[in-house]
Amino acid sequence: MDKNLTLYLTGLPDTLLLFNEPMSRHTTFGIGGPAEVLIQVNTKDAARAAARALKEYDITPCVIGNGSNILVSDEGIRGAVMKICCGEYRVSGNTVYAGAGATLNKLAAAARDAGLSGLEFAYGIPGTVGGAVYMNAGAYGGQIADVLRASEYLDGSGKAGMFSKDEHGFGYRDSVYMHGEYIILEAEFALNNGEISEIDEKMRDYLKRRRDSQPLELPSAGSVFKRPAGNYAGALIEKCGLKGSRIGGAEVSEKHAGFIVNRGGATCEDVKRLIEHIRETVLREYGIMLECEIRII
């Protein structure tokens, strides 16, 4: 990286630069080689300043949040990684405003404490607001598209903008953000009044279901595959007898076949080979080609 750019970024408030930083420290999979430089921004202002500085040097960063839905190459990532950690949030009436780095757990809890319903489904999803908006995260019949009113972003030229609800192009695990160069800064959620006790009960129920059915005790990137039309990826994988299948340190979870877990020392190549084995087996047995939900970088 250019010396002048390094000096500028080093001096930015609320910004941390880490060189040759192992991405295994920044992904829930615990997998990934070193990033040439990782730029952690802790506020929206820091994100704006860093993004615009990178643009001046024609550098497009790889943007991550909590690293909960990605698989990073064993060779690492060339260039810059920007980790969005702006996690501030506030409640005003029936609206919750949240920085892209806010965790979904904290967001759902803040809404509950304000007596606002609509984000219960997000409780227990190990991601951030930015990542959730990016992929239209969902669970237990709810999704981000149901509650998002607007989002703020920086585009590929570093200019700020806003998308209204209808401009997000939401689909199943899809949004406009997946088809262009954007950095999500903040999201605005429109929620409904509710009883705190009822909201809390629903959140506890969803969390219990996750703990009972998902391998939360082991590193993973969540559900590996999108749900195929009229079926469930986990069910198809289990019917193929693939639970417990292992390549290197990567294993199809014994608890939920839709998850691949890191049993210890798993590499990106281990996971990729296991993914291909699963896809080939399900295609051969059921004629269905599973589509990956996790981003492979």
Q: Which of 21, 186, 251, 293 is catalytic?
A: 293
285 is a catalytic site residue: no
125 and 94 within one domain: yes
Burial of 284 (0-12, 13-18, 19+ CB in 10 A): exposed
98 and 204 within one domain: yes
Answer with the one of 181, 209, 237 that is the final residue of a domain: 209
Domain of 103? 89-209
- What is the pLDDT at residue 7? 87
Q: Which of 24, 175, 220, 223 is catalytic?
A: 223
- Mean per-residue pLDDT over the chain, rounded: 95
Packing angle, helices 104-113 and 196-213, rounded to 10: 150
39 and 129 within one domain: no
153 and 102 within one domain: yes
Across residues 143-158, what is the average pLDDT? 94
- What is the pLDDT at residue 276? 98
- What is the pLDDT at residue 1? 81
* pTM of the predicted model as reported, rounded to 2 decimal places: 0.93
Across residues 274-287, what is the average pLDDT? 98
> In this structure, what CATH number is given to the domain that contains residue 201?
3.30.465.10
196 and 126 within one domain: yes
| C-alpha–C-alpha distance, residues 219 and 216, integer Å | 7
Across residues 181-201, what is the average pLDDT? 97
Our separate counts of H helices and E strands in the chain read 8, 19
152 and 248 within one domain: no
- What is the pLDDT at residue 4? 86
Q: Give me the DSSP letters along 182-212.
A: EEEEEEEEE-EE--HHHHHHHHHHHHHHHHH
175 and 104 within one domain: yes
Answer with the one of 209, 235, 265 that is the final residue of a domain: 209
Across residues 41-53, what is the average pLDDT? 94
**What percent of the chain clears pLDDT 70, i.e. is strictly above it?**
100
94 and 75 within one domain: no
- What is the pLDDT at residue 297? 95
- What is the pLDDT at residue 156? 84
68 is a catalytic site residue: no
| The two three-digit tokens of residue 271, written as one number | 């996971």
- What is the pLDDT at residue 225? 97
| C-alpha–C-alpha distance, residues 140 and 207, integer Å | 11
Residue 75 has pLDDT above 90, yes or no: yes
Answer with the one of 187, 209, 231 that is the final residue of a domain: 209
140 and 50 within one domain: no
Beta bridge partner(s), residue 151: 163, 187
- 16 CB-side CA count, 13 A: 8
Q: Which of 112, 173, 188, 279 is catalytic?
A: 173
> In this structure, what CATH number is given to the domain that contains residue 232?
3.90.78.10
293 is a catalytic site residue: yes
- What is the pLDDT at residue 186? 97
> In this structure, what CATH number is given to the domain that contains residue 77?
3.30.43.10
59 and 149 within one domain: no
290 and 205 within one domain: no
pLDDT per residue over 239-270, tens digit each? 999 999 999 999 999 999 999 999 999 999 99
Residue 56 has pLDDT above 90, yes or no: yes
Contact 135, 69 (CB under 8 A): yes
Domain count, the chain: 3
Q: Give me the DSSP letters along 219-270.
A: -EEEE-BPPPTTS-HHHHHHHTT-TT-EETTEEE-SS-TTEEEE-SS--HHH
